[in-house]
Chains A and B, each alone.
Chain A
Amino acid sequence: MLVVIMSPNGLFDEASLPRRSTDDSVVVVSFVPVDDVTAIVLHRPTGLSERVVRAMSRTAVAREMLRLTPLDSGVRFLRAARRDARVRRALADADLVVAPERDGALAAWHAARALGRAGRNTVTMFGYPAARAAIDRITA
């Protein structure tokens, strides 16, 4: 079973998804390196947009407003993931796609749609408990 985790902040450790067999593998798609697992580290946007995001992230109101714009961190993660061929390859083979955090959900949602159109029956879950339950059902 191949599990692809869409987590901009690299939220993954051994307790997140206990491995069932040696055939199981996990790939974390992230903006940051992740220990002890295969990780696809995406190029984080830099330059003016990053400076705007940092400035607007200082207050709660500005953060909420930012979420309505294309500078929303979920959108930026989606764009970076779409541009990366390694992500496309991993998703094409995935049995399960997991978004453990809010900012990974949009990329996981688009992956679910694309995989559905390609005739793949990939399960897409939000949160690790839901992912663990999905694995139980898939392997039952």
Chain B
Amino acid sequence: MSPVAVVTDSTADLGDLATSAHIAVVPLTISFGNEHFRDGIDLSREEFYKRLASSTHPPATAQPAPSALAAVYTRLLGAGASGIVSLHLSSALSGTYNSAATAAREVDADRIVVIDTHSASLGLGLIALQAAEDARLGMDVATIARRARDESPKVQLLAVIPTLTYLARGGRIGALAGLLGNVLRIVPIVTLKDGEVAEYAKVRTFTRAVDQMVDITTSRIQGRGRARVAVLHSVAPELADSVARRIEAAVAPALLISACVGPTVGTHAGPGAVGVAFIP
């Protein structure tokens, strides 16, 4: 029996990792004013952050059309996949999940399972990688889907954002608004809560916030050699490397990847941010 195919969207921020894991990636559309790009295809990460910093208005992201997803599903099934598990960004943040569900109904509702992971960026990426690994081991659609749904609530996401400017501009600042224009240069450690950016802790200085984020991460991971960890950054590869090395030394995760995040997170975090997505 031919294996199950795994599909995700470009917000999983997997980049080349998706290719090597045989995960099909459907791009979202990013618009700077009247210019439209397919995320990760027409617009590199570096180019995205360059434009983000120079444009006065935040870019808009648009979910892929159901037809684009349907085309991918049709192609994969045509190529001999026995079924498809399609994993997507939190439906609280984007309509991508809805597009995928619509496409799945059109193409083959029996063989395609669409899952709202309630996560974002490499949190979604970690779940997709797990699903791809399961598929490689020959599990069926139902098993892979069940395992992915079990994993979703375990994903934890933390990030340190050097400036609140981008959060404020994108209207996602919410509870962090009080930190704008503070006398003490307070840096928040943020997390994703019910699909919204939420403050996890307030810390003074960026360096100390990153230290604390690493401490929280390693303290939440019980046992060496089991966790799956993704370090995410917005064009701050050296910082991400140092965070990854410290996590490696402390808990030696089973999987440790690092990637530059795309527009879904990057629009609000701005350049220079670093974060961790992990399944303890």
To the question of whether A and B form a pair in one complex, the answer is: no
Using a CB–CB cutoff of 8 Å, the interface residues on chain B facing chain A are none
Using a CB–CB cutoff of 8 Å, the interface residues on chain A facing chain B are none
